[in-house]
């Protein structure tokens, strides 16, 4: 077991190194330059000469866009990372680690609540649909699952805003709290919770369909196994058969899907955070990407890559808990 984990960690380190190289190359090749965007008006007006612009680029380390210049920039970034420094964000003018740690918790809170709702709704409905195949419940859940899968997240978000914010006036449209709110403590908490209900519902509706269909398909496959027919022949109740034998064996594919839960919890939702004007890490990453903020883009993407690797490793280990027949020996 320990040998397997050490080997996976070493493989993961190699994967992260390759990912960082590809990310840096792609970011430096983007048709976006932070300095040129920032001083575009002054450059067009002739207030800044090309020489002065190049001098400013040198301050940001963007003066050389040749292959060797990109390689030197990557090496400088990589050595700084090994010293625990992800650099300073061009756009936000603060250390990347501070920007990520300060804003990721907004995204985490919303995503965690949506994740709990998603699994609490999808798995029971998926099992119910499978045990009532071609029945009313199966058809109704299939329709709602297809709606959730088919519509993009921003459409669901705008629809929720139209119905519950504009037409009914039940929930606020945007922001994490009221603009004129001055309360603290428990009042502030409830005000913020009231603001994240619609974003949480939007994420849940978008995510629920895929997991529900996945659970239904796996449950149907297990229901046709010989040991399920044997359990029924022994006289076990249908509830015992479903939730003790069937459900446990459908967990392995579901655990595989959970490998991406950790990065999704901390990574934010770029589009939805834009629609709801939430100060989460997703909105910051989107703003940094639009302006070519290389340090923040690199730090954010490496943060997500590390979380993905951790999630995959935890998923592999969880297999043994869900199904004791699985033994990791290599």
Q: What is the pLDDT of residues 81-135, one digit of tens each?
A: 888 888 888 888 888 888 888 888 888 888 888 888 888 888 888 888 888 888 8
Give pLDDT, residue 277: 84
Question: Where does residue 239 rank: exposed (0-12), middle (13-18), buried (19+ CB within 10 A)?
Answer: exposed
CB 200 within 8 A of CB 142: no
pLDDT over threshold 60, residue 154: yes
User: What residues does 325 pair with on adjacent strands?
Assistant: none
Dihedral sign for Cα 66, 67, 70, 72, please: negative
Give pLDDT, residue 44: 67
Range with the poorest average pLDDT among 3-7, 89-93, 95-99, 153-157: 3-7
pLDDT band at 195 (very low <50, low <70, confident <90, very high): confident
Q: What is the pLDDT of residues 205-218, one digit of tens each?
A: 888 887 888 888 88
Cα 78 to Cα 84: distance, rounded to the nearest angstrom: 10
Q: What is the mean pLDDT of the chain?
A: 80
Is the backbone of residue 125 left (phi > 0), alpha (psi -120 to 50) or beta?
Answer: alpha
User: Which residues lie closer than 8 Å to 325 by C-beta, 6 or more apart?
Assistant: none
- Domain extents for the chain? 106-290
Give pLDDT, residue 74: 87
**SS3 (DSSP) at 242:** helix
Give pLDDT, residue 321: 66
Residue appearing with tokens 């978008």: 206
Six token digits for residue 162 = 């139209």
Give pLDDT, residue 319: 67
**Residues above pLDDT 90, as percent of the chain:** 0
Cα 221 to Cα 55: distance, rounded to the nearest angstrom: 65
Give pLDDT, residue 244: 75
Within the chain, what is the greatest distance between any pair of CA atoms?
Answer: 87
Q: How would DSSP label each residue in 53-108?
A: HHHHHHHHT-S--SHHHHHHHHHHHHHHHHTT---B-TTT-SBHHHHHHHHHHHHH
pLDDT over threshold 60, residue 237: yes
Six token digits for residue 205 = 């509706």
Count of residues in the chain: 330
pLDDT over threshold 70, residue 305: yes
Cα 123 to Cα 251: distance, rounded to the nearest angstrom: 10
**Residues above pLDDT 70, as percent of the chain:** 92
pLDDT band at 325 (very low <50, low <70, confident <90, very high): low
- Gap between the terminal Cα atoms of the chain: 8
Mean pLDDT over residues 237-249, rounded?
77
Query: What is the CATH T-level fold of the domain 106-290, as seen in this structure?
Result: MetI-like fold (1.10.3720)
Range with the poorest average pLDDT among 119-128, 180-189, 318-327: 318-327
pLDDT over threshold 80, residue 47: no
Nearest to 322 by CA among 273, 266, 251: 251
Give pLDDT, residue 173: 82
Give pLDDT, residue 65: 76
**Which of 216 and 255 is assigned the larger pLDDT?**
216
Q: What are the phi and psi torsion angles at 184 (to 5°)?
A: -135, 175
Give pLDDT, residue 1: 65
Mean pLDDT over residues 281-306, rounded?
86
Helix (H) or strand (E) holding 220: helix 197-223
Range with the poorest average pLDDT among 14-23, 171-180, 253-262, 267-276: 253-262
Give pLDDT, residue 228: 79
CA angle 113-193-203, nearest 5°?
Answer: 40
Cα 191 to Cα 237: distance, rounded to the nearest angstrom: 47
pLDDT over threshold 70, residue 155: yes
pLDDT band at 197 (very low <50, low <70, confident <90, very high): confident
Alpha-carbon Rg for the chain, nearest whole angstrom, is 25
């Amino acid at each position: 077991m320990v040998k397997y984990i050490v080997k996976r960690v070493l493989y993961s380190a190699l994967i992260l190194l390759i990912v960082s190289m590809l990310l840096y190359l792609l970011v430096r090749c983007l048709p976006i330059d932070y300095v040129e965007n920032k001083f575009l008006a002054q450059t067009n007006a002739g207030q800044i000469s090309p020489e002065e612009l190049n001098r400013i680029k040198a301050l940001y380390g963007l003066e050389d866009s040749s292959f060797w210049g990109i390689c030197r920039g990557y090496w400088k970034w990589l050595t700084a990372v090994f010293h625990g420094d992800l650099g300073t964000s061009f756009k936000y003018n603060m250390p990347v680690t501070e920007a990520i740690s300060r804003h990721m918790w907004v995204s985490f809170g919303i995503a965690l609540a949506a994740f709990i709702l998603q699994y609490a709704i999808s798995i029971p409905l998926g099992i119910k649909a499978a045990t009532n195949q071609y029945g009313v419940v199966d058809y109704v859940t299939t329709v709602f699952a297809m709606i959730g899968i088919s519509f993009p997240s921003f459409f669901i978000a705008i629809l929720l805003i139209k119905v519950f914010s504009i037409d009914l006036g039940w929930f606020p449209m945007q922001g994490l709290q009221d603009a004129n709110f001055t309360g603290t403590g428990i009042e502030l908490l409830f005000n913020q919770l009231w603001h994240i209900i619609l974003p949480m519902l939007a994420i849940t509706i978008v995510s629920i369909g895929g997991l529900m269909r996945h659970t239904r398909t796996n449950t149907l496959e297990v229901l046709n196994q010989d040991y399920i027919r044997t359990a029924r022949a022994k006289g076990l109740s249908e509830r015992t058969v479903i939730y003790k034998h069937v459900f446990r064996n459908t967990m392995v594919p579901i655990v595989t899907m959970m490998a991406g839960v950790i990065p999704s919890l901390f990574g934010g939702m770029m589009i939805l955070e834009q629609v709801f004007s939430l100060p989460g890490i997703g909105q910051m990453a989107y703003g940094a990407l639009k302006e070519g903020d290389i340090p923040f883009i690199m730090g954010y993407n490496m943060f997500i890559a590390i979380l993905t690797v951790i999630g995959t490793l935890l998923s592999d280990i969880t297999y043994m808990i869900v199904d004791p027949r699985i033994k990791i020996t290599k």
